Structure 1
Amino acid sequence: MNTKQMLIALLVIGAGLAMVNSLNVVLASGGSMEKNPNATVVRDSFTVLGPKAILANDYLHLYDTTPYMIMNGHVAAKLPCDSNSETEIQILIGKAPNLKPAELEYIQELSTPGKLCLYHVDLVSEHGEDVDGGIITDVAVANPTDSRKYLPFGSSIVIGVNEIMPLEMEASSHD
């Protein structure tokens, strides 16, 4: 390879790297401009794997973004379930100390009723007063029963957070 061919090859490689870097920036920002100038785009995740025990009427606190609220996120939980695909385990979301059971969506294609079932819920804080638990900063897994519950081998809880915003920004935007 002569000097001219080497120079052209280096320029092509450099241009390719620049295009890949630009693509990574676009993908990291969700492919578009941020909709909320006060929000920060992040990609953070947390995974809990079984086996774990949760005491009767107790919980395991898994995730806390304080002093930020979760604007966009997701929880996927592979939990023990009965033959009707129901689980006694709850995923709690909200702003501590006001955590409430999330409305979990059952994913049939990735579940084995009577063993482990997959459920998920999107995490989206609502703008406005936190009267009804509309702001999410915390995620927990709870056992609301009177007996100890186990997350067996194969259980998992994955929490992904994509976008956060400072709590004080939310409060000051309504003054």
Structure 2
Amino acid sequence: MDDGATYSLFIENELKIERARRELQTKTATAVITTSSALIALLVALFALLAGKDFVFQAGARWVVIAALALFFLSAVAALVAGQLVEYLVADETTLSRILNDHWGDTVNDSRLASAWINFDTLVSLRRGCNARSWWLDWALRLQVLGALALALGVGWQIALLP
């Protein structure tokens, strides 16, 4: 009988899932940064365009649009934090050398158990990093939604007050 095969496979699959999660988080962080940056650039360009004319932003609408700009900026910052590389444990050079030199003749079950422990350590440290990244991404997305709502409110307010 092959002791531990099911558990070892389970840990390997969990590790694959966590690595895929990390990759998705990186893509999401990049998308939030890109979107927030584009919206900030669009707002700045809009202000520059309007400032050249005799355009007067209504006081209330102006502050709401400025708040939207700040929210987009904070969203991008949170996404940058979420997108940063997070250190996690992997088998170091010494461990890999021991596997090849000292433990090459181990039984299948002993090898599987040792590999499962190495994968477990990697999984736990990777999951901690991914959980922290998720927290930052959650706030980045919330701030971006609030920024979009504030922008819609500010522009709507301004349009409603046009003569």
Q: Normalization by structure 2: what TM-score? A: 0.26
Higher RCO, 1 or 2 (CA under 8 Å, sep at least 6)? Answer: 2
Q: Which has the larger radius of gyration?
A: 2
Q: Normalization by structure 1: what TM-score? A: 0.25
